[in-house]
């Protein structure tokens, strides 16, 4: 190979942290490596960036190839460049992350037949490379983001109860929230439209249903706010 | 050269967006390129990452080499990887940004004798590569950050007036703020300690001096808050 600039260059990879919401559990999508280094160990899906594709394209391609998961909105997280992070050679990795509804993204047979699975975030196996660190960074970013951007549009059914919405926040933040306080704050943002409907087919007292005000939701996504929960 | 993985690989660079506060003006540090492509054009300081240095080290090294500016806390901004962003070959750039007090960082003769200068953010020359886009991304990030992190500890004198602090916010946000509203909000955060001193040697009525409560400042930097200004 010849380059315009002949000097030793780092290899460039992408890694994907895909969080999946599964009722009241937050999971992360991992693959089991079949090659050295870390053969047999679990790791984040990812791989080398082709010289003619964008970083986003590489991330989406690797995710599909290794897990079968597609149509995920990947957001750039951070670029990890410690000199010794890969035992093979110098590898710099641009990490991406996403949050999806797990039921929409069951793991399919991946094209390269690697094993892929969802793990509860509290119970992940020991990961190869610096992937534990990448995962922790993504988890922290996700919890931070909940505080200044609305959450739930693509994660809840179109009509939902305040209990469902609170559970969503509790799952991501990994702590219980005060019900009265949560309701007061979330309703105060004007993000929700109260419907003239209640839940059906429930054993307990049927709760009021809500839906998001799409316009307000988009505005708050853009502007940000502060949800002190 | 031989690599563990023989495939065409992108080159990796870093670029630095250093904002400088100069009284009531926000400036950005640029260098004039002496080589193609974009020879004679202004651009962000930056350059190729050595295979044995971290990304942060590369960013700080390039900044010193090209501008003489040092001891700046560079924070990672975003990684720019459009396929056509560099006319020479595929180059992925990890961008960093910082905000400094301009008077602490006068431009010195750079070691590689390139021309370096501070430009008002409202009056920058046309930049090479996609640096206009990198600059815009950094500027947006800076304005956003002001809303959820305290500002001013390293930018103001130890004792300052509320007018000085307001001017700092106005310069970064590039708009006038309502004085009463600003004071009410900033004092409400408990971030400031009112001193038993007033300005000296001023023509107008001497204003009260304040200093930051360092412990509170650090806590809010970590936790974040929401400053709806």
Which residues of B lie closer than 8 Å to A, measured between beta carbons?
1, 3-12, 48-49, 51-56, 76, 78-79, 81-83, 88-90, 92, 94, 144, 147-148, 224-226, 228
The predicted-structure confidence for A163-213, as pLDDT tens digits, reads as follows 999 999 999 999 999 999 999 999 998 999 999 999 988 888 899 999 999
Per-residue pLDDT for B229 more than 90?
no
- What pLDDT does B111 receive? 52
Question: Of the residues B56, B115, B170, B199, which is catalytic?
Answer: B115
CA distance A222 to chain B (A): 11
The predicted-structure confidence for A40-87, as pLDDT tens digits, reads as follows 999 999 999 999 999 999 999 999 999 999 999 999 999 999 999 999
Q: What is the CATH number of domain B162-223?
A: 1.10.10.10
**Of A140-144, B3-7, B20-24, B133-137, which range is least confident?**
B3-7
The predicted-structure confidence for B83-117, as pLDDT tens digits, reads as follows 999 999 999 999 999 999 998 887 765 555 579 99
Q: What letters, b where the CB count within 10 A reaches 16 and e where it falls short, cover A116-151?
A: bebbebeeeeebbbbbeebbebbbebbeeebbbebb
Mean pLDDT of chain A: 91
The verdict on domain A11-145 having CATH code 3.90.79.10 is: yes
- What pLDDT does A18 receive? 98
Our separate counts of H helices and E strands in chain B read 5, 9
- What pLDDT does A112 receive? 56
Contacts of B59 (CB under 8 A, 6+ apart): B14, B15, B16, B46, B74, B94, B96
Find the mean pLDDT for residues A13-30: 95
The ranges assigned to domains in chain A are: 11-145, 162-223
Find the mean pLDDT for residues B53-77: 95
Find the mean pLDDT for residues B137-161: 92
Confidence class for position A23, pLDDT limits 50, 70, 90: confident
Find the mean pLDDT for residues B11-27: 94
- What pLDDT does A60 receive? 97
B194 is catalytic: no
ipTM > 0.85 for the complex = yes
- What pLDDT does A166 receive? 95
8 Å CB contact of B4 and A147:
no
């Amino acid at each position: 190979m010849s380059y315009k600039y002949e000097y030793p260059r780092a290899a460039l990879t992408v890694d994907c942290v895909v969080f999946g919401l599964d009722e009241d559990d937050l999971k992360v999508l991992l693959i089991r490596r079949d090659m050295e280094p870390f053969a047999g160990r679990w790791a984040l899906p990812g791989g080398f960036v082709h010289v003619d594709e964008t970083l986003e394209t590489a991330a989406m391609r690797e995710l599909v190839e290794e897990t079968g998961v597609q149509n995920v909105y990947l957001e750039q997280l951070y670029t990890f460049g410690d000199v010794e992070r890969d035992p093979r050679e110098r590898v710099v990795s641009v990490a991406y992350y996403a949050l999806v509804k797990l039921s929409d993204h069951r793991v399919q047979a991946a094209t390269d037949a690697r094993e892929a699975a969802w793990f509860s975030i509290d119970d992940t196996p020991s990961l190869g490379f610096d992937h534990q660190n990448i995962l922790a960074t993504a988890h922290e970013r996700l919890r931070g983001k909940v505080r200044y951007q609305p959450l739930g549009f693509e994660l809840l059914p179109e009509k939902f109860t305040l209990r469902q919405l609170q559970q969503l926040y509790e799952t991501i933040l990994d702590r219980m929230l005060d019900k009265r306080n949560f309701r007061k704050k979330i309703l105060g943002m004007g993000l929700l439209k109260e419907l003239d409907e209640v839940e059906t087919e429930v054993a307990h007292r049927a709760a009021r249903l809500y839906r998001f005000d799409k316009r307000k939701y988009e505005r708050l996504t853009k502007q940000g706010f502060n949800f002190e929960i």
